[in-house]
Structure 1
Amino acid sequence: MKIIKIIAYAVMLYASNSLFANQGLAFIHGTGNQTDAYNDYWTGEFVNSVKQGLSNTNNITVINCDFDKYMWDTRASGCLAEQLTTFINNKNITQLTLITHSNGGNVVRWILSNPTWDSRFVKIINTVTKTIALAPSSGGTPLADAVTTGNTFETTLGWILGYSSDAVKQQQVGWMAHYNQNWLNGTPNRPALSSQFEVVVGSDVDSAIWDGDSYCGGYQYQVALEVTQNWLDNCSDGFLECSSQSLAGSVWFTDKSRTRGSEPLSHHQSRRKCFNLDGLLRNRI
């Protein structure tokens, strides 16, 4: 009888905590110095669809920071920490879900892995319950190595990478291996992150001119990513190899296994309302 009462109390406590939790959602962009990520990086169409998964759709924030800087820079993780802290405090958020894309996952992991780096990090760590990382560059990309060499490859990748910014240098494969071994948690042989880090992996690029799906998010991006895919493994989203995307945390799903029509998500499409990605995220949060 005593055991039954303890179990019943535990269930009631869990239900009570869930009932009174105030859930928030933050959209965190990738490489680039963003001033209007809502329109320029994510699009309102994507954000407004995903946020319907919240009980209070006003509890969202779209981050605008300078992610052209190294992840530890005050203009990168410091800026993110400031905006998240302000959001948590202003909205009284008790459970925070983060949706990140590309290099944004690295900046988030920096905060989650280094609680003593900045006094604001601890509160964020204690509030974040889940990160959904869309095509994170956890293991870096050979394209960053190619751009950093300063050859003509830059002209093809400039629109994606911003040429030789600090963030691009950071995403070189060897550099990310060093950070993963010494500074970042969530990768093999490193401590686990304090909260879930779920990954959506993009595995291919479709750019056939006769295929309407190639136009989702903008056909010109598909063509460019089809070109850059030639420098990567067969399994890649045109910017990141699947092995890099899946290096940290756990894989929630690889695009074709859950998208509408089993369509792949290119690196650009993984931040757009393409093939029911928005619906999958909406249901997940």
Structure 2
Amino acid sequence: MRSSVLSSLACMAVLALPGLAHANVGVAFVHGTGKQTNALADYWTAPFVDSVRQGLPNPANYVVINCDFEQYMWDPEAAGCLAGQLTTFINNKKITSMVVITHSNGGNVIRWILSNPTYDSRYPKIISTIKWVDALAPSSLGTPLADAVTAGNGFEQSLGWLLGYKSEAVTMQQTSHMAFYNSNYLYGTAGRPALPRQLWAVVGTDVDSSPVDSDSYCGGYTLNVGLETTQNWLDDCSDGFLECSSQGGAGYVWLYDTEFATGGEPLSHNQSRRNCFGLDVILRNDV
């Protein structure tokens, strides 16, 4: 579906704008939940970012966002910070076409911008510059794990390493809360208006954490063990943090992990922000 849609859009764009072939293309990496000050090292890792940006005509046209996504998506520290850093990137690099690669809750923050163009004077330029969004394991419908943390039961301590303790972002990602936001403030989910720029989700379907399987060590073996444990509270189809239905709940499903991953390996929630099983190559070719 994606290839046919994009081919049609590309043909129309070229016919309407002959100069589009000379667009100055950039890519923005938008992290998920957490207060990041060095997302390149602490969230994505340099090997992942460096591999993906090689797909650009000018590999220097990239930005790694560092914002406080422990806040509600609309807060100045979240969407406001993201808008500021994207605007600076667009202006300084003279970017005319931008692919946004985001992970987890970052998909909700960028959807807020796309869905509410009049909320901030910077949003319209950002929206017009975005080519499309590649959303890696987006938490579009929330997660039952956020429900468990917010409930404050004994499960809370075992989940803190994964998504934090009762931050605004965790509260927001409760399934009932995301249902409310999706119905009232966000575009792209069933029954709601389409997003002004297409969002394409990469869905992680399972977690492997066998000590004798080398694939289980990509992205960190200990983290994958933890994600396989939390998977017990989710649907059979999940990446250890998000159910597949949530990841594919907004925009379009681009790929399920086993459709492209080397050896048909699944991508855990942590592996979907690493150069595991060819994910970086898929994204490199896309930008």
Where on the TM-score scale, by shorter chain, does this alignment land: which range? over 0.9
Q: Which amino acid in 2 is paired with 1:123?
A: K
Which range moved further: 109-118 or 14-23? 14-23
Q: Cα offset for 1:94?
A: 0.5
Instruction: Please point out which of 57, 60, 72 is paired with 1:58.
Output: 60
Q: Which amino acid in 2 is paired with 1:229?
A: Q
* Aligned-partner Cα distance in 2 for 1:193–1:65: 23
Deviations 1:36-75 (A, max 9, x none): 0000000000000000110000100000000000000000
Q: Which amino acid in 1 is paired with 2:50?
A: N
Deviations 1:238-277 (A, max 9, x none): 0000000000000110000111000000000000010000
2:194 paired residue number:
192
2:254 paired residue number:
252
Asked if the contact 2:113/2:123 (under 8 Å) is kept, the reply is yes
* Structure 1 gap segments, 5+ residues each: 1-9
1:219 paired residue number:
221
- Aligned residue-pair number: 276
RMSD: 1.2
* Aligned-partner Cα distance in 2 for 1:35–1:198: 27
Deviations 1:170-207 (A, max 9, x none): 00000000000000001111110111100000000000
2:46 paired residue number:
44
Instruction: Please point out which of 188, 196, 203 is paired with 2:205.
Output: 203
Instruction: Please point out which of 261, 264, 268 is paired with 2:263.
Output: 261
* Aligned-partner Cα distance in 2 for 1:209–1:256: 21
Q: Which amino acid in 2 is paired with 1:109?
A: R
* Aligned-partner Cα distance in 2 for 1:50–1:69: 28
Q: Which amino acid in 1 is paired with 2:94?
A: N
Instruction: Please point out which of 27, 30, 54 is paired with 1:28.
Output: 30
Q: 1:153 to 1:18 in 2, by over 3 A?
A: same
* Structure 2 gap segments, 5+ residues each: 1-11
Structure 1 length-normalised TM = 0.95
Matched, 1:176 2:208: no
Q: Cα offset for 1:11?
A: 8.7
2:3 paired residue number:
none
* Aligned-partner Cα distance in 1 for 2:204–2:38: 25
SS at match of 2:29: strand
Map of 1:1-285 to 2, 5 A cutoff? 13=15, 16-285=18-287
* Aligned-partner Cα distance in 1 for 2:15–2:152: 58
SS at match of 2:193: coil
SS at match of 1:132: strand
* Aligned-partner Cα distance in 2 for 1:58–1:30: 23
* Aligned-partner Cα distance in 2 for 1:12–1:156: 52
* Aligned-partner Cα distance in 1 for 2:49–2:18: 29
